[in-house]
Amino acid sequence: MTTAAALTIPFERIADPAVRDIAERIAEGRRLEGRDAAALYRTADLTGLGLVADAVNRARHGDVVTFASNQHINPTNICTLRTTCVFCGYARLPKEAGAYRYTLDQVLEEARTGNQGLTKEFHIVGGLDMKAGLEYYTTMFRALKAELPNVHIKALTAVEIAHIARIEKRSWAEVLTALQAAGLDTMPGGGAETFSAAVREEIANKKLGAADYIGVHRTAHGLGIRSNCTMLYGHVETIQDRVEHLQMLRDLQDETGGFLAFIPLAYHPDDNELGARLGRRGTATSGVADLKMLAVGRLFLDNFAHVKSHWIMVGTALSQIALHYGVNDLEGTVVREKIYHAVGAKTQQAMSLPELLGLIRGAGKVPAERDSFYNVIRTFDDDGEAA
């Protein structure tokens, strides 16, 4: 397997002098500033940007691209923010058509049957449901661990943790400690959207603010609960908003080191109020924008080991190309994805192992299955069998 190597940037192939200048500073071990990230978002030299991001990624990870055998479970789509997160097509009010809240048996049934017993990680997120409080989730996690003790539980965004704390009148730390005792292992990165107060006012005016999103993750990291982080892009945010968002993530990572991966999320405009308001349908973001988000994430977030492409959002073809733009991890097998398929995602709801292996190998990379902490647990021979 090809492992990490020395940083080798092909400067002569970078057309934009601004990108070359930034690349030289990276080669000297200097940190990017916010204005550098802005310049990279603005450059027309996508190839140059990709070469730098690829070099930095290869220096860390060689040619290895990881994925997890994960399974998404969305236990409730009932959400108090249904009418105010205007980009969301998944949430429902309690009495609205299509509203659901799984019983414990339904969660267990989905956990058992979703992926023929191959799942190693459950990714559990849902709406801010007044009837899904601490006990709903502690009972669920205990039951999942009792039946499937080796499956990792990555569950509940910072927004959901703050919601549970509010309805239970407990602190974030108390809620997180109780969930951890019940089986919570790590937290996903959803709910970040774009941190800018002006953007939040426009797209999610009742949602937990940036400082609190960061605060919940800081509290989790302090308790030994590692987490991911995200940025929703391609809606109304400016380049400056994106840079400020990345800066806040990098600052917390400097402080705690608790983030595992950065995952940019491409906005999908179908079947949600914001898309209608903006008069947009179909493909939300451009391929260039998607690749830039991933590449700039790789370069600016120099204290993050992992940058993940979410094939459900940007498609499998773009995700494959992204493996040459700084990405070292792909969202895994997933199984029955609901949130993006509620807002027009046309991708599959799950990917099989042979499909994932083919996608990674087709990019000239070496696939490896990882655990939830990014340790490689399986490599593969040419027939797709464990090597």
* 235 token code pair: 């809606």
Q: Number of residues in contact with ligand SF4, rule: CB under 6 A?
A: 10
CB of 14 to ligand V47, least distance (A): 31
Q: How far is CA 239 from CA 13, 112, 242, in A?
A: 25, 43, 5
Cβ proximity to ligand V47: between 74 and 219 the closer is 74
- Phi–psi pair at 267, nearest 5 degrees: -65, 135
Q: Which among ligand V47, ligand SF4, none contacts residue 81 (Cβ within 5 to 8 A by kind)?
A: ligand SF4
CB of 88 to ligand SF4, least distance (A): 3
Q: Dihedral sign, CA of 337, 330, 273, 213? A: positive
CB of 90 to ligand SF4, least distance (A): 5
Between the CA atoms of 100, 104, 105 and 106, what dihedral angle is there, to the nearest 10 degrees? 30
Cβ proximity to ligand V47: between 141 and 340 the closer is 340
Burial of 157: CB neighbours in 10 Å, binned 0-12, 13-18, 19+: buried
CB of 115 to ligand SF4, least distance (A): 23
Contacts of 114 (CB under 8 A, 6+ apart): 71, 73, 335, 336
Cβ proximity to ligand V47: between 11 and 374 the closer is 374
**Of 303, 305, 293, 311, whose CA–CA distance to 242 is shortest?**
293
Contacts of 249 (CB under 8 A, 6+ apart): 229, 231, 259, 262, 301, 304
By the rule CB under 6 A, 243 interacts with ligand SF4? no
The answer to whether 342 and 271 are in contact (CB under 8 A) is yes
Beta strands in 169-220 (DSSP E): 186-187
CB of 35 to ligand V47, least distance (A): 26
Place of tokens 């917390």: 252
Q: Which 69-88 residues touch ligand SF4, going by CB under 6 A? A: 79, 81-82, 85, 88
By the rule CB under 6 A, 159 interacts with ligand SF4? yes
CB of 103 to ligand V47, least distance (A): 23
Binding site for ligand V47 (CB under 6 A): 87-89, 188-191, 193, 228, 230, 232, 263, 265, 267-268, 272, 310, 331, 339-340, 343
Do the bridges between strand 259-266 and strand 226-233 make them parallel or antiparallel, or are there none, so unpaired?
A: parallel
* 27 token code pair: 């080669």
By the rule CB under 6 A, 56 interacts with ligand SF4? no
Q: Which among ligand SF4, ligand V47, none contacts residue 82 (Cβ within 5 to 8 A by kind)?
A: ligand SF4
CB of 66 to ligand V47, least distance (A): 13
Q: Which 80-139 residues touch ligand SF4, going by CB under 6 A? A: 81-82, 85, 88, 90-91, 127-128
Q: Which among ligand SF4, ligand V47, none contacts residue 332 (Cβ within 5 to 8 A by kind)?
A: none
Which single residue brings its beta carbon nearest to ligand V47? 190
By the rule CB under 6 A, 210 interacts with ligand SF4? no
Instruction: List contacts with ligand SF4 (CB under 6 A).
Output: 79, 81-82, 85, 88, 90-91, 127-128, 159
